[in-house]
């Protein structure tokens, strides 16, 4: 857990409304943000597009608990990965269960698949999720301690490369639909148990031979998790890394064919990709295809994923591999990229009508009147706490509505209401029982 729930000075103002700040004793935990109403149109847009893409490619929604047994991450994501070693938020329940705030979605989805025997359904099962995840990282742009992901997972059935291509495609199309441009996919194959162990040994031997020239972390990785050697960003290790053996040269025939077919699907779809032999993805459950999606000028990945045929075995659920592949995208990073690339703010479902009420009898009528607009499916806004015509008109103007309805004491008495065209300022009085119809006619 973070040592303190208070933000450092100046932090945590990401979404704040400009102007005078209130003094507050507590702030949201470091690296965790409120999503304020002004930000919501971006989030709604991504939720909407996620649903559209999932429906189109036949992914059904799954929601798993935010807390999961720690073991599924230790066994699946990997005990020696940064996520498990350094970034998990852990809790002990009163029943002494060891639980973790989920740092990622894939092990939980696999757990649910096994727990609920989804293998009895038509295979493969295609699932998608949208929700919060937690990693105790050093907060910076695009890296938060609570962040959201949308994920696509295909579990069961065949280990057909077409599914690898489809999970990449779903993520890629989702990003495209958000109007994010200049995307590239980095892709690699990590092979299967057999060919990877040959490669791992080669890599280990190579680094051991060069142990005098590499950093302390790499010396540790060389024995604990050799593939992570390729992740090292230390400048002194780059020369050694550049000469290191490459996984693609060690793929067995089946893995080589599998990877070739994934790339052929991407070629057929016209999706731009770069082979990246250093892409290892840092989660232990991957085998064969791994990939990440990037946008130009944004140096962290928008999404990533890969095949994880061994995960069900790693969770102790089966003795043979269960074909599975998936991808997930980070919502905050998508929004940051949309903004950086100048994508227009998604339009809110704006109300076109504002109800102004003046005086007690009018306020009394207002709620019922609003209900008749609700029944007619017309969105209407108001400020029931305000009394003066001037302040309510100002608000109506600010909300850029087309029509203001003015209900005063006299109108209530005469059972009328004033319709004001906000653009021209022209006003007309109509019978109260005809106002919904009249408004409907006027708004496009």
Contact positions vs ligand HAM (CB under 6 A): 104-106, 135, 137, 142-144, 147, 149, 151, 153, 301-306, 308, 326-330, 332-333
* Distance of closest approach, residue 36 Cβ to ligand HAM, in angstroms: 18
CB 237 within 8 A of CB 215: yes
Q: Which of 362, 393, 372, 377 is nearest to 435 (CA)?
A: 372
The helix (H) or strand (E) run that includes residue 179 is: none
Minimum separation from the CB atom of position 408 to ligand HAM (A): 52
Compute the least distance from the CB of residue 393 to ligand HAM, in Å: 43
- Do residues 97 and 68 lie in contact, with contact meaning Cβ atoms separated by under 8 Å? no
CB of 139 to ligand HAM, least distance (A): 8
Give least dist CB 300 to ligand HAM, A: 7
Least distance between ligand HAM and beta carbon 8 (Å): 18
Name the residue nearer to ligand HAM (CB basis): 147 or 373. 147
Residue 368 neighbours by CB under 8 Å, 6+ apart: none
Cβ closer to ligand HAM: 12 or 105? 105
Nearer to ligand HAM, 129 or 373 (CB): 129
CB 340 to ligand HAM: min, Å: 14
Of 146 and 372, CB closest to ligand HAM: 146
Q: Report, in Å, the least distance between residue 292 CB and ligand HAM.
A: 6
Tell me which residue of 391, 324, 321, 308 sits closest to 356, measured CA to CA: 391
Query: Quick one: 136 or 352, whose CB is closer to ligand HAM?
Result: 136
Based on CB atoms, which residue is closest to ligand HAM, 306 or 408? 306
Annotate 264-315 with DSSP letters as a single string.
HHHHHHT--EEE-TT---S-TT-EEEEEEEEETTEEEEEEEEEE-TTHHHHT
* Closest distance to ligand HAM from the beta carbon of 106 (Å): 4
Torsion sign, CA atoms 111, 85, 300, 196: negative
Q: Pick the closer one to ligand HAM by CB: 247 or 432.
A: 247
C-alpha torsion sign, points 73, 74, 75, 81: positive
CB nearer to ligand HAM: pick between 142 and 346: 142
Please tell me the distance from the alpha carbon of residue 305 to that of residue 101, in angstroms, as a whole number: 20
Minimum CB separation from ligand HAM for residue 185, in Å? 12
Tokens 């909407």 — which residue? Answer: 48
Is the separation of the CB atoms in 222 and 208 below 8 Å? yes
Our CB check for ligand HAM shows the closer of 298 and 354 to be: 298
Q: Mind giving me the DSSP string for 327-391?
A: EEEEHHHHHHHHHHTTPPPPPP----EEEEE-SHHHHHHHHHHHHHHHHTT--EEE-TT---HHH
Considering beta carbons, is residue 304 or 408 the nearer one to ligand HAM?
A: 304
91 token code pair: 């809790």
Which helix (H) or strand (E) segment is 188 a member of?
strand 183-189
How far is residue 138 from each of residues 7, 32, 87, 142, measured CA to CA in Å? 13, 11, 9, 11
Q: Which two tokens stand for residue 278?
A: 């250093």
Non-local (6+) Cβ contacts of 14 within 8 A are 33
């Amino acid at each position: 857990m973070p040592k303190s729930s208070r933000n450092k000075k100046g932090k945590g103002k990401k979404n704040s409304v400009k102007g005078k700040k209130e003094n507050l004793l507590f702030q949201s935990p470091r690296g965790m943000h409120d999503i304020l109403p002004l930000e919501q149109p971006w989030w709604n847009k991504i939720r909407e597009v996620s649903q559209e893409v999932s429906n189109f490619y036949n992914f059904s929604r799954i929601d798993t608990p935010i807390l999961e047994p720690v073991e599924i991450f230790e066994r699946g994501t990997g005990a020696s990965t940064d996520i498990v070693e350094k970034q998990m938020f852990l809790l002990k329940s009163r029943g002494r269960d060891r639980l973790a705030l989920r740092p990622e979605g894939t092990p939980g989805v696999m757990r649910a698949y096994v727990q609920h025997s989804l293998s009895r359904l038509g295979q493969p099962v295609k699932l998608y999720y949208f929700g919060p995840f937690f990693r105790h990282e050093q907060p910076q742009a695009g890296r938060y301690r609570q962040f959201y992901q949308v994920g696509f997972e295909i579990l069961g059935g065949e280990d057909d490369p077409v599914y690898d291509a489809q999970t990449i495609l779903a993520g890629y199309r989702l990003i495209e639909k958000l109007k994010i441009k200049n995307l590239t996919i980095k892709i690699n194959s990590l092979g299967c148990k057999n060919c990877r162990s040959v490669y791992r040994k080669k890599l280990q031997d190579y680094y051991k031979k060069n142990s005098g020239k590499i950093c302390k972390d790499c010396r540790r990785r060389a024995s604990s998790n050799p593939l992570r050697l390729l992740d090292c960003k230390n400048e002194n290790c780059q020369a050694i890394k550049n000469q290191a053996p490459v996984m693609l040269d060690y793929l067995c025939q089946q893995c080589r064919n599998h990877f070739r077919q994934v790339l052929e699907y991407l070629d057929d779809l016209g999706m731009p990709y770069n082979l990246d032999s250093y892409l290892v993805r840092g989660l232990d459950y991957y085998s064969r295809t791994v990939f990440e999606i990037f946008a130009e000028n944004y140096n962290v990945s928008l999404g990533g994923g890969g095949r994880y045929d061994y995960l069900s075995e790693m969770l102790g659920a089966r003795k043979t591999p269960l074909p599975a592949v998936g991808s997930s995208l980070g919502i905050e990073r998508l929004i940051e990229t949309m903004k950086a690339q100048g994508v227009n703010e998604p339009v809110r479902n704006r109300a076109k009508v504002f109800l102004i009420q003046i005086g007690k009898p009018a306020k009394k009528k207002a709620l019922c009147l609003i209900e008749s607009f609700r029944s007619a499916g017309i969105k209407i806004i108001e400020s029931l706490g305000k009394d003066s015509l001037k302040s309510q008109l100002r608000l109506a103007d600010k909300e850029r509505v087309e029509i203001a309805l003015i209900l005063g004491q006299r109108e209530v008495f005469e059972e009328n209401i004033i319709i004001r065209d906000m653009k021209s300022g022209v006003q007309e009085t109509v019978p109260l029982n005809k106002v919904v119809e009249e408004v409907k006619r006027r708004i496009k």
